[in-house]
A and B are shown apart, each in its own frame.
Chain A
């Protein structure tokens, strides 16, 4: 019974399952507000509250808000609130690890839909070279530093109040998310102060880049996402992990070929067991595309919940008995 269930799971059509989960999550975090659903403001995804209909909010908002409190208050009782916020964030996070990105984040899902659009037009995706990849991969940490440091500088009085929620001002999700519920008001540049003007202008540029970027490059924004960087700091604490058995890996590169994030280690690293990398969105496409039994597996605690198998691979890649061409039959004397 157990092995039968395992086989069904390992043989599943991951792309379809994922599409369904993403569709439901997108509806929830973009339109959940219509049904009075609210899951709090410590979510580990880009569920943007600038879109009034979201069923929750991105943790980076309260984080920036809390950290921008005057230093004395922050070091006093308010510090506890920050810690409590992080704990709540962690509570959500540990259940899904980075699968929040690959399955739940509406902003991630939107990029996947742009990918479907590009694919249906018949345009091939772009990739970074290894050199570009290594350089650009650091940007998300710079953005995370902006999320944390700018509010702290406000707190000590080094920066003015107009720097508040600085990251949100440049974040493309702020501009694009409300659009889904018909609110185009974020597509503007705020001319109230010089700082706001610069920040919101950068935001507009980023939003434009986002739309073009994610059209030509799979999961374009996730590569730069500070939330992704924050996830990575805590990813070891999660119940769910992506693991690899290097002894079974032949380095054929199938996992790398399907990876939206171009993570090379997934194919080339045969030493690490914990193979989740900072850019990973835990979409599990690599597991689905691996033709070796149990070489890659998605674990809940220590249990292999979804493993790569030969059979599953053949099913998903559409490898089937070819239809016989009668004329090609070998005639034998």
Chain B
């Protein structure tokens, strides 16, 4: 009898949630350690971000215990409106293989790992900052259907209508209406009114955060690149869930440190390291599989065209008269018209953006990653490849998922591409 009790005490059986946490912590710490130790001197200001991820993903620290948390399934929900109403936007896009595996039981085998991971995470109900409500813009098929599935787990999920074309005037009006409805709904739930003052302050604050991102991007245009692309992904990923004021403060410090680094000619890559523009399915922590392989293969990511980074910060809101509805309309236009998500019927904007990034950042090539199962990125691959070929820009297309298994094969392909860029550069000289 006593021996059994002793036995019980010694071998505490791990609950599924504990197991999930442990696995996720392992995934997270592996990437964080690689970033901290695997590369030449990360900026000191990065330690804020590394610690943040460690606390949230390894120690399950909740950041927003005192606020209403508004979950968003995609970037098309204006965070400006959420902040104005005193909520905290939490972007639910997920990059954990552990959660992807949980989600695999709920979604088709060939579904997108990002959607599976998001659904898996929410189905486990094991969230540090559990959203009080979720807004799901009807972007791609999988995200759209995922919203309904998630609501069956007991979350309050509201669909936010999102058009699949953006050229027409109808789509503009449609999304303006949609965002108006969203703000009415949220304002009702928050018991607060959207006012000229709070919305304007919030637009200005997000605008400031965006300007910090733009300053970071500016550094990456020059020959001396003081920050790795992977570190940039960490910074922009932190914006998904961090406290805005803290994020701003930490990023300001990073900007200052990078200024100093540029003065000291501190380049984080090699002299001949090819400069890469990264595009495609979004790298979301800790799924930095491809970005890490790229920067491990002696290349440096100088810019990206993804919704977890550039697309979140690039476009700004301008208003002629600061009335609430004008601000909402302008927000809606920004989130629709400037969006380069491949869900749209036509997407010349995305191609133009990639070309512009290559030109402005003096990039040597483009790496286009699509998650296996992320149909829209897979579908758009051909047209982007054709356009790049026409422009004489080298591009590599890779399909990957969240599993840790294909590392060898992927790194061989990336290394070969990087090598070919180096040879090209050498011949040019």
Contact = CB atoms under 8 A, between A and B. Distances in A.
Contacts of B326: 124, 257
Interface of A is mostly: loop
A321 B251 CA distance: 12
Interface stretch (A35-43, A44-52, A207-215, A312-320): A312-320
Nearest to B326: A124
B375 interface: no
A247 interface: yes
Contact of B248 (A252, A264, A314, A322): A322
A78 to B, nearest CB: 47
B352 A253 contact: no
A190 B205 CA distance: 59
A252 B245 contact: no
A328 B245 CA distance: 7
> Which of B318, B330, B340 neighbours the largest number of chain A CB atoms within 10 Å of its CB?
B318
B333 A256 contact: yes
B207 interface: yes
A258 B320 contact: yes
A268 B167 CA distance: 8
A253 B243 contact: no
Contacts of B204: 317-320, 322
A250 B208 contact: no
Contacts of A253: 172, 330, 333-334, 337-338
B129 to A, nearest CB: 13
B242 to A, nearest CB: 8
A19 to B, nearest CB: 14
A254 interface: yes
Given A250-B314, A322-B204, A322-B205, A124 B246 contact: no
Contacts of A325: 245
A122 B195 CA distance: 13
Nearest to B329: A257
Contacts of A256: 333
B248 to A, nearest CB: 7
A317 B207 contact: yes
A251 B337 CA distance: 6
B352 A270 contact: yes
Contacts of B337: 251-253, 267
Given A267-B337, A322-B208, A124 B315 contact: no
A313 B208 contact: no
Nearest to B207: A319
A247 B356 contact: yes
Interface residues of B, number: 43
A13 to B, nearest CB: 14
B316 A317 contact: yes
Given A253-B330, A291-B316, A324 B245 contact: yes
Contacts of A322: 201, 204-205, 208, 245, 248
B410 interface: no
Contact of B315 (A119, A125, A291, A328): A291
Given A124-B321, A125-B321, A325-B245, A252 B315 contact: yes
A188 interface: no
Interface residues of A, number: 43
Nearest to B169: A130
Contacts of B128: none
Nearest to B333: A253
Contact of B207 (A257, A314, A332): A314
Interface in B295-330: 314-321, 323, 325-326, 329-330
Interface string B248-282: 10001000000000000000000000000000000
> Which of B243, B246, B317 neighbours the largest number of chain A CB atoms within 10 Å of its CB?
B317
B315 A250 contact: yes
A6 interface: no
Contacts of A291: 315-316, 318
B142 to A, nearest CB: 26
Contacts of B208: 319-322
A96 to B, nearest CB: 23
A313 to B, nearest CB: 7
B379 interface: no
Interface string B24-43: 00000000000000000000
B216 to A, nearest CB: 13
A296 to B, nearest CB: 12
A5 B116 CA distance: 54
A285 interface: yes
A7 interface: no
Interface string A295-321: 000000000000000100110011111
Contact of A289 (B207, B315, B318, B356): B318
Given A321-B208, A329-B245, A313 B316 contact: yes
A248 interface: yes
Interface in A226-257: 246-257
A325 B246 CA distance: 11
Contacts of A330: 63, 243, 245-246
A322 B198 CA distance: 13
Contacts of B353: 250
Contacts of A319: 204, 207-208, 210-211, 316
A251 B338 contact: yes
Nearest to B200: A318
7 contacts: A252-B334, A253-B334, A254-B317, A291-B315, A314-B207, A317-B316, A332-B51
Interface of B: 51, 63, 167, 169, 172, 201, 204-205, 207-208, 210-211, 214, 243, 245-246, 248, 252, 314-321, 323, 325-326, 329-330, 333-334, 337-338, 340, 348-349, 352-353, 355-356, 359
Please give me the 8 A-B residue pairs with the lowest Cβ-Cβ distance, nearest first. Answer: A254-B318, A252-B338, A319-B207, A253-B333, A289-B318, A258-B320, A130-B169, A252-B315
